[in-house]
C-alpha cells in the first residue's frame, strides 16, 4: 500500500492501494476497507482515487459521502 500524504495533518487515512476497479483504504484503526465500482459506484470510486493521490480530503469524503457503502472490510 502507498502511504497517504495527509496534507491536512488530521486524517484517519494511513495508506491506500489503487487498482483499476477498486481502492483499498487503511485507517489509523488498522482496518482496511475495499471500495469498488459496485460499492460505492464508479463516480465515488474515481473521486476517492483522485483524493488519495492528492493526499487531501479522502477521509472527509468517505465520512460524508460513502461511509458505510463499501464493498468489504478486508481487515
* Confidence at 12, pLDDT banded by 50, 70, 90: very high
Q: Give me the pLDDT at residue 41, please.
A: 95
- Which value, to the nearest 10 degrees, does the dihedral of the CA atoms of residues 9, 48, 20, 24 take? 60
Q: Give me the pLDDT at residue 71, please.
A: 86
CA distance 16 to 46: 14
The model carries a pTM of 0.93
- State the Cα angle at 40 between 17 and 12, rounded to 5°: 50
Give the CA radius of gyration of the chain: 11
Could you tell me what percent of the chain has a pLDDT over 90?
88
Which 3-state string (H, E, C) describes 11-28? Answer: CCEEEEEEECCEEEEEEC
pLDDT, one tens digit per residue, over 22-45 is 999 999 999 999 999 999 999 999
Amino acid at each position: 500500500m502507498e502511504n497517504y500524504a495527509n496534507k491536512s495533518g488530521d486524517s484517519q487515512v494511513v495508506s491506500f492501494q489503487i487498482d483499476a476497479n477498486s481502492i483499498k483504504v487503511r485507517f489509523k484503526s488498522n482496518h482496511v476497507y475495499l471500495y469498488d465500482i459496485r460499492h460505492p459506484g464508479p463516480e465515488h470510486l474515481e473521486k476517492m482515487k483522485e483524493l488519495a493521490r492528492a493526499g487531501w480530503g479522502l477521509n472527509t469524503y468517505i465520512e460524508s459521502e460513502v461511509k458505510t457503502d463499501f464493498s468489504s472490510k478486508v481487515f
